[in-house]
Structure 1
Amino acid sequence: MGAEAFRALCERVRERTRRGPEDRRGTLGHLTPARVVAATREVMTGRTVSLGAPVDTRPGPDNPEPARHVMTAPEPGRRPSTGLDFARDRFAMNVHGDADSHLDALCHVLFDGTLYNGVPADSVTPEGATELTVDVVRDGVVGRGVLLDIPRLRGVPWLEPGDQVTAADLAAAEAAQGVRTGPGDVLLVRVGHRLRRRELGPWKAAEARAGLHPDAVEFLVDRRVAMLGGDGNNDAAPSAVEGVGFPVHVLTVHAMGMHLMDYLRFEELAPVCEQEGRWSFLCAVAPLRLPGATGSPVNPVAVL
């Protein structure tokens, strides 16, 4: 996609999803209380499945700054005492890396000097963001989740790095799985990134990864999706757009006001959906309350 075509797509997406100038929730506006109530009817067996990957504390080609987990008590070599004591630990993470499951807040993507809905870029300060932070979703996101499995559609275990998922692919996956994405849904798109990483080992995902083609975003607009999650970055690499490294992030987070979840894990969910013959479920997303943050570690849960 050329630069001019991308700009035209960006403006078209923005116009089709435009809300009032004071809006700070973006596409979460599609997820009404009535749709939350309706989503609870997706629960049939009560089975719960984690959609987050285990936090990776090992360095690797896709994780040069791994999360750090250290025990702060008891002290090494200290003999257990009688009575009460506590084990304690500390945790630190590079939230927007290429290994760990995380949620992107609407202040994460700066494009042409602004954030979503024209919020000035200087609202992101060295002390933290002052608008569109992860606090927008402090009450969590609970709604109907839909998993579209693109490797299943193509008859392969995973998509190879650099492959791209189009709007036509998403529609074909719906037809193959007998499901339809609707207003207020949390759409999850599997490309098989996690399975490939497990089977072949990590690689430089910043340079090569499967993801959505920019034209897939119009599918999200048409269906009035509330939130998007993928088992990769959602953006493919190399980018489909010259001069724009993360076009899907620009179109969703910046133009639409859509929270993204990157590097989720669907290897437990997909077999359960296959066994039960249904690809929709109740989905609960509860990011941490981190004042001023541009994102959060996340462990969404599917309830079937």
Structure 2
Amino acid sequence: MSEVAPDMRELGAELRNWGRWGTDDERGTTNLITPEALVAAARLVRTGKVFDLGIPLDGDGPQPGGNRINPIRLMSENGQEQVLPGGFKWADDYVFMPLQSASQYDGLAHVHYDGQLYNGHDGAGITVKGAQKLGIENQSKGIAGRGVLLDIARLRGVDWLAAGEVITPEDLDAAERAAGVRVGPGDIVLFRTGYRAKFLAERDPQSFMAGEPGLGLATARWFKERDVAVIGSDNWAIEVLPGEHEGALFELHMVLIRDMGMTLAELLDFEELAADCAADGVYEFFYAGPPLKFTRGVGSPINPLAIK
């Protein structure tokens, strides 16, 4: 564990975006995706190549059970016993799943501490009815724009980073240089650890969920200085686990979500996209990843697209 990781509460107070977009704001850093930024991002579509970044919604996912399970899909009608005019038959199915069991967004109501959510909203507003403030539906129009892939695994010359391996601001700088990009305001930054490749190779949910490589606390300042809108990863919790302070849990989540107001995308699949970026040298693209409009939801399944 790092001896230089900053104090979480001090860092959160330093980087806090409360009031930046008004005292009633419920969108946070997605406000940084301006109409001008969106128009510029659309110009990145040059070849029509499309990469889907969501993992399959099925029983073979990474959830080991307990708090979260893999999606369960059931047929409610298959048409086999139907006798309808003209031979018409129809089928329907439905899904039972945690909203955050596969590729998904952590919404701004997902994390709070010291009795407060992002922008000072009351933590007691998260009830059995859902989030009275900061529900994921507030992001329904806002998560599309310039995407940038920072391939940390390729930078370090490995198939995947090891659990507990910390990604630093210096790593992000080096990945930028390697990709020939500069992260800027309103960007959606995707960083690859290779952990999706690990899961596909091993098919071991317990090992996958036991820990992970990820961002260290110090990277929060890097993302704030660049005015990044959204962070996405191929691990399951964005940040390094075990964390950098013994006895603490999900400190970077608390700074990014509660203090900075940043929506996080987790459990994405970058393998096809990363291979293409390495082949053509283009690490920027149009990203489109709206959440589903679950009223008062604290997260949402997603299948984002990266379009070149």
Classify 1:212/1:106 alpha carbon distance in 2 versus 1 (closer, same or farther; 3 Å): same
- Residue 122 of structure 1 corresponds to which residue in structure 2? 124
Equivalent-residue separation in structure 2 for 1:215 and 1:4 (angstroms): 7
2: CA distance, partners of 1:244 / 1:42? 41
Which stretch of structure 1 is more off in the superposition, 284-293 or 135-144? 135-144
1:269 is the counterpart of 2:282 = no
Does residue 84 (structure 1) correspond to residue 88 (structure 2)? The answer is yes
Contact 2:291–2:301 at 8 Å: present in 1 too? yes
8 Å CA contact 1:103, 1:261 repeated in 2: yes
Is the Cα contact below 8 Å between 1:206 and 1:237 reproduced in 2?
Answer: no
2:27 is equivalent to residue 25 of structure 1: yes
- Consecutive aligned runs of 4 or more in structure 1 exceeding 6 Å deviation: none
- TM-score of the aligned structures, taking structure 2 as reference length: 0.91
Please name the residue that 2:113 is paired with.
111
Match for residue 173 of structure 2? 171
In the alignment, structure 1 residue 212 sits paired with structure 2 residue 212 = no
In structure 2, relative to structure 1, the CA distance for the partners of 1:71 and 1:284 (3 Å cut) is same
Partner of 2:200: 198
Distance 1:276 1:184 in 2: 24
Partner of 2:138: 136
Question: What is the DSSP-based 3-state SS (H/G/I as helix, E as strand, rest coil) of the residue aligned with 2:119?
Answer: helix
Q: Does 1:300 align with 2:304?
A: yes
Residues 260-280 of structure 1, C-alpha deviation per residue, up to 9 Å, x if partnerless? 001011011111112221100
Shift of 1:16: 9.3
CA contact (8 A) 1:61 1:202 kept: no
Count of aligned pairs between the two proteins = 301
What's the offset of the Cα at 1:62?
3.5
Letter in 1 for 2:173: A
**CA contact under 8 A between 2:62 and 2:199: conserved in structure 1?**
no
The 3-state SS of whatever aligns with 1:268 is: helix
Q: Quote the offset at 1:160 in angstroms.
A: 0.9
CA distance in 2, matches of 1:88, 1:15: 45
Gapped regions of structure 2 (runs ≥ 5): none
Offset of residue 33 of structure 1: 0.3
Give the TM-score of the pair, scaled to structure 1. 0.93
Q: Give the aligned CA root-mean-square deviation in angstroms.
A: 2.1
Say if 2:29 and 2:229, in contact at 8 Å, map to a contact too. yes
Q: Measure how far apart 1:206 and its partner are.
A: 3.8
Distance 1:223 1:60, change over 3 A: closer
Give the distance between the partners of 1:107 and 1:153, measured in 2 at CA.
34
Deviation string, structure 1 residues 201-226 (Cα, Å, up to 9, x no partner): 22434431111111111111011001
